[in-house]
Amino acid sequence: MEKQKFYLGSHVGMNAANNYLIGSAKESIENGANTLMFFTGAPQNTRRTETSKLNIVEFKSMLIENNIDISKVICHGPYTINLANTVKAETFDLGVRLLKEELLRLEEIGVHTVVLHPGAAVGAPRELALANIAKGLNMVYKALPNTPVKVALETMSGKGTEVCITFEEIKTVLDLVEQKDKVGVCFDTCHMHDAGYDVKNNFDKVVEEFDQIVGLDKLLAIHLNDSKNPIANHKDRHENIGYGYIGFESLANIVHNPLFKEIPIVLETPWINAKVSPYKVEIEMIKNNKFTNPFKDKEIK
């Protein structure tokens, strides 16, 4: 079998009904993916199933049998973590504890990249919030100095008081991180577009700017999403590939760009009518580099 020229997959479920990680692997394989992203539990709460029940051995075997490199598999951290919060100490402390637990769980699973929402300032000055993120990351890695798991801070759209909406803000955090090799970045194309970066017309320039400010070596993952809103709207509303304001061609070009051939790229686009997964079709379109308008009741922007 010819090796694909990129790593492309989607967010997949991980729950008891589908045998935890076995279901995650099956869903990815059925979608024709060669990478995947999962939550280790419900993203909005702190409850987690013990790792001994997640079917880790079977999961790893399924990945090997289907030529999926576990080093390209990523996890998404829980939304309950807000290391940027300087207003409520208990929220920050909870975030540090949860992130430590997440890194330990992922080390057991064998997945070594976790994407993390940097958080929101919640009314405090942004510079304090950015410093607080680095403080939390430093606390986590001081407690777990030998963990192989890296944190990829996600680029955000600027909804509410979110931070890390510009490359400069991300650089501020990374400059304050002590274990430089453990923290990087995850591009989210919808978030970047909504934050004001021209993903549609001039992504090469966006990447050049990122390289100059942060460094392309810090890019650990990409979330590939279209956007329901015009550029710089700060809304964070994902759209299916080819149906939003970024468009199919620009998004497919990112996947096919040799610059990102070693970077895991995952879809987080909405399910059709909240019932049908779009991922198999979207992955096939992107692989073939051809838009087929599969969801005909959706309006194309």
- pLDDT tens for 20-79 read 999 999 999 999 999 999 999 888 888 899 999 999 999 999 999 999 999 999 999 999
pLDDT score of 90 more than 80? yes
CA 239 to chain centre: 16
Sorted by sequence, the CB contacts under 8 Å of residue 37 that are 6+ apart come out as 9, 10, 11, 12, 73, 74, 75, 76, 115, 221, 264, 266, 268
Residues at the binding site are: 76, 117, 154, 188, 191, 223, 236, 238, 268
Q: Across the strands, what pairs with 223?
A: 188, 266
In a domain, 271, yes or no: yes
- CA dist 149 to 92, 124, 163, 173, 195, Å? 20, 30, 23, 18, 28
In a domain, 194, yes or no: yes
Instruction: Determine contact, residues 103/148, Cβ cutoff 8 Å.
Output: no
In a domain, 259, yes or no: no
What type of residue is 273?
N
Supply the CATH number for residue 187's domain: 3.20.20.150
Please write the tens of the pLDDT for every residue from 132-166. 999 999 999 999 999 999 999 999 999 999 999 99
Residues at the binding site for Zn(2+) are: 76, 117, 154, 188, 191, 223, 236, 238, 268
Q: pLDDT-based confidence at 1, cuts 50/70/90?
A: very low
For the CA atoms of 254, 2, 72, 179, what is the dihedral angle to 10 degrees? Answer: -80
Residue 210's domain comprises: 71-251+266-288
- The count of domains in the chain is 1
What type of residue is 188?
D
